[in-house]
Amino acid sequence: MPDLSLDPLLFQIPLHPWITKTAPYAFLSHVLVLLSQTKSRTLILNTLTNALRVLIVHDSDSIIPSMYMISNTLAPPYIPIELGLGPAVISRALQAVSGLSAAALRKLYNTYGDPGDVAFAAKASVRTLVPLLPLTIQGVYASLIKISQAKGKGAAKLRQGVVEHLLLSARGEEVRFISRTLSMHLRVGAVRTTMLTALAKAGVLTRPRGSALPTDSPYFASEDLLDRILTPPEKANKKSEIIDKARREVIKKMLDAEALLRTTFVQHPNYNDIVKAFLAGGWESLAQKVPLTVGIPLHPALGSPMRTLDEIYERINGVTFSAEFKYDGQRAQVHAFYEAGQTKPTIKIFSRHLEDMTEKYPDIVELAVDCLSEPELSDHVDNTLESFILDAEIVAWDAEENSARSFQELSNRPRKNVQVGAIKLAVSLFVFDIMYLNGEALLSRSFRERRATLRQKFSTRVMPPIRGGARLQFVENVDSDGPDGREAVETFWEHALESQCEGLMIKLLDSGGATGEVGLDDVSLSPSKKKGGRRKPFPATYEPDKRTSAWLKLKKDYVDGIGDSLDLVPVGAWHGNGRKAKWWSPILLAVWDPKLARLVAMCKCMSGFTDAFYTALGERYPENSPTCSREPIGSYHVDYGGVSAPAIYFLPGEVWEIRGADITISPVSVAALGEVSGTRGLSLRFPRFMRIRGDKAVEDATQPSMLTEIWCRQNGSRPKSTVDLDEGDLIDFEGENDEYDEEDI
């Protein structure tokens, strides 16, 4: 196998990387081995980039299956394709293939923990009498799809048969990664941002077969350009200058391609469509071939957290804005359209992390259908609605009291097969933005324009208050315009504090400039720069998957203390002491670092949990299971820094809302390492569990930049030298007196 970890600018694609007609699974398992052996993002990117380049040249049909399997998925998040394989099915198949008894296999699980390592050890001595055909990338992916589609009578037998065939045909390291793939617990650092970067680079360096890209393409490095890097000139004194210039030119093309690909992906998150468009003509026509499409969810715009109205006014520096209620419900993206030749409209409802939840809200479906105009209406009618994408919040609603209910009540609604007539708790769709209307994307328009369009088109389209029927409402808001604008906003904030909402969303009505930091992604890295005088533009356009200062959120929780509500990921735990000996306590929590594409351990938490929660936690994370192991598991790399290794590792998947006393410099945490201290990271003192954020994915968790921003705010009013150091090992000790926990029951 070629050395895929080389610098892609120096990597030479082999002429014959395999002898089979299509790419063997052995090639993909080789890639996975390299990825699992390093935490270096550079080496991970090199490996992925070079692997994709080989596939572009020798088997482009294997690119999409490879990307999904490396990403530990089978399809885009909005397409509900799941393997649905429990550990028992895999264990039975492994017993059948290896000949081991259940007791012997259980012993291997106790020894290794990881399902891939167990499978590798179990099959180490197995020899087949008749050699089986080697697995291919496309064949393995097809088998996974076959497993996911097995339904009804005989499905269990069919699934186990496919699993047995895969394990029996796998050789060497293939066994390890086939098993991990079947368990959906790959241990490689190929998250979405990494995959997109690698694909962009591969497309710049390698021309799709049959394409005729111009040599001056901004997204393609010609052979002549690459030759200047690989073949230095005869005169040694010009060597460095020519090579450096050529490298800079190629890197510029890579960065441009990556920006284009990320912009396209957040509006149209589908590897299939993106790869097919690339293979048909490079990156040049990507935006035209893969546009924002009704029926395919785009990543939602995000808000940057703030602590006070004073900070908000300082940040936006006089730019007009709208203050809206931030409702305590479920973020929803509603798509409505008529497919070609159809008279019945198609309605899709997607969650914050793009999962299809249409079946959960048939009342919202009826509401959306009621909003659409009949297809025979003429186009010149100003209020015609043929297709739209709305950004909204679904809120449990008390029709009699005309008031919001709690999010907890909404969360009790079943996920599937909900019938309108059986709905006991009505909902209201609070619409606050429109991204698409009648075949036209509106992302580039200002929020003022989008809001005007939204209210004009939907002002009269509200379902009657029938039993089980949903309502369409606009978010309650006030604008900052006018001489009494600030007083109106402050009064509105007081109204928010007294209401059932979470706080306020502050949204710029028009694009403008402001002094200071632009958002969490651009936060100053030291307190001395916190009040810088630079001005940067604030776009009032809709920015998918971005957390900017054009959208700011002021939650009630942020006002108490130092803005200490964080969204953290549980990544490990220790065995409890005393009464807690039967539970996991404390729990190790991590932030998500998008720059490193990994989780970073930050603090331990042992407060705010009830006995019932501890019990349920143990059921979700039983020891020596696919979700809880003595070895790190899952597709997310976790940087544990200087914290002592937890007794067991959780499969990262949940996001918890945590509150605490303040952000402090820590001698062991490496979260935001170097941001405020050259040798130490940041941690949270006295963290306390609030709730599970079922509406958030791992990559939606709090980022180190937010910790930096909170720390800088804390120290704006006191000298840096007086900041308390967290000298413990990520400790939030309250003593082993468990009576503290009883208050939460």
Is 28's pLDDT higher than 60? Answer: yes
Is 576's pLDDT higher than 60? Answer: yes
Q: Where are the domains of the chain?
A: 25-72+190-289, 87-182, 302-323+480-557, 328-474, 566-742
Nearest to 26 by CA among 174, 169, 205, 146: 174
Give the lowest-confidence range in 4-13, 14-23, 40-49, 728-737. 728-737
**Structural tokens at position 594:** 């998008």
pLDDT, average across residues 317-323: 90
Q: What is the 8-class DSSP label of residue 75?
A: S
Contact 202, 192 (CB under 8 A): no
Helices 87-98 and 173-182 cross at an angle (nearest 10°) of 150
**Structural tokens at position 221:** 């490095």
Q: Which residues make beta-bridge pairs with 389?
A: 335, 436
Is 515's pLDDT higher than 70? Answer: no
Q: What pLDDT score was predicted for residue 532?
A: 44
Contact 315, 372 (CB under 8 A): no
Round to whole Å and give the CA distance between 203 and 212.
Answer: 14
Q: What pLDDT score was predicted for residue 737?
A: 36
Is 520's pLDDT higher than 70? Answer: no
* Residue bearing the bigger pLDDT, 408 or 690: 690
Count helices and strands (H / E) in the chain.
23, 24
Three-class SS state of 653: coil
Contact 552, 681 (CB under 8 A): no
pLDDT, average across residues 396-423: 83
Q: What pLDDT score was predicted for residue 535?
A: 55
**Structural tokens at position 692:** 């599970």
Per-residue pLDDT of 296-305, as tens digits, reads 999 999 998 8
Q: How confident is the model at residue 198 (pLDDT cuts 50, 70, 90)?
A: very high
Which member of 123, 201, 253, 326 is catalytic?
A: 326
566-742: CATH topology is OB fold (Dihydrolipoamide Acetyltransferase, E2P) (2.40.50)
Contact 303, 324 (CB under 8 A): no
Bridge pairing between strands 656-659 and 688-692:
antiparallel
The CATH code for residues 87-182 is: 1.10.3260.10
Round to whole Å and give the CA distance between 162 and 150.
Answer: 10
pLDDT, average across residues 300-325: 88
The CATH code for residues 328-474 is: 3.30.470.30
**Segment holding 670, helix H or strand E:** none
Judging by beta carbons within 10 Å of its beta carbon (0-12, 13-18, 19+), is residue 235 exposed, middle or buried? exposed
Is 465's pLDDT higher than 70? Answer: no
Q: What is the 8-class DSSP label of residue 709?
A: H
Q: Is position 245 annotated as part of the catalytic site? A: no
Read off the pTM: 0.78
**Structural tokens at position 475:** 């978010």
Hey, how many other C-beta atoms are within 10 angstroms of the C-beta on 664?
A: 22
pLDDT, average across residues 714-730: 45
Contact 563, 307 (CB under 8 A): yes
Give the lowest-confidence range in 73-82, 123-132, 198-207, 240-249. 123-132
Q: What pLDDT score was predicted for residue 213?
A: 65
Residue with tokens 């180190």: 704
Q: Give the mean pLDDT of the chain.
A: 84
pLDDT, average across residues 358-375: 87
Three-class SS state of 544: coil
* Residue bearing the bigger pLDDT, 208 or 536: 208
Is 44's pLDDT higher than 70? Answer: yes
Round to whole Å and give the CA distance between 175 and 121.
Answer: 9
